[in-house]
Amino acid sequence: MSANEPVSVHILDREYTVGVAPDERSSLMAAAKLLDSRMREVRGSNRMAAVDRVAVLAALNLAHELQQLRDEQHARNREVERTLQNLHRKLDGALGTP
């Protein structure tokens, strides 16, 4: 098990240091870049917007997108399961298995 190492990320012109496993560094950097981008979108041209409000709205937007992806994946998994069940029935029928 590798130890976490400190990594600095910049979000809305502020620097944050977080501990991350070396093999997760690139993923963290990508996540920070995405969050920074989304927070800038939410803030828009209103530079006086409260950072905590911008952060909550950006987090809510990201959480909503994540939930939509989970819902889509769940629907795909159900469809694959139905397809597999149909294939098993057809295979059992072709083989004469009760």
Domain assignment of residue 59, given as a range: 5-95
Prediction pTM value: 0.77
**What is the distance between the alpha carbons of residues 28 and 34, in angstroms, rounded to a whole number?**
10
Report percent pLDDT > 70 for the chain: 96
pLDDT tens digit sequence for 14-50: 999 999 999 999 999 999 999 999 999 999 988 888 9
What's residue 45's pLDDT? 81
Residue ranges of E strands in 1-98? 5-11, 14-20
What's residue 3's pLDDT? 84
Stretch 52-72: mean pLDDT, rounded? 96
Stretch 69-86: mean pLDDT, rounded? 97
* Number of domains into which the chain is organized: 1
The residue to which tokens 């819902």 are assigned: 71
**CATH no. for residue 16?**
3.30.160.880
- Render 73-94 in DSSP notation, one character per residue: HHHHHHHHHHHHHHHHHHHHHH
What's residue 43's pLDDT? 94
For the cut 80, the answer to whether the pLDDT of residue 1 exceeds it is no
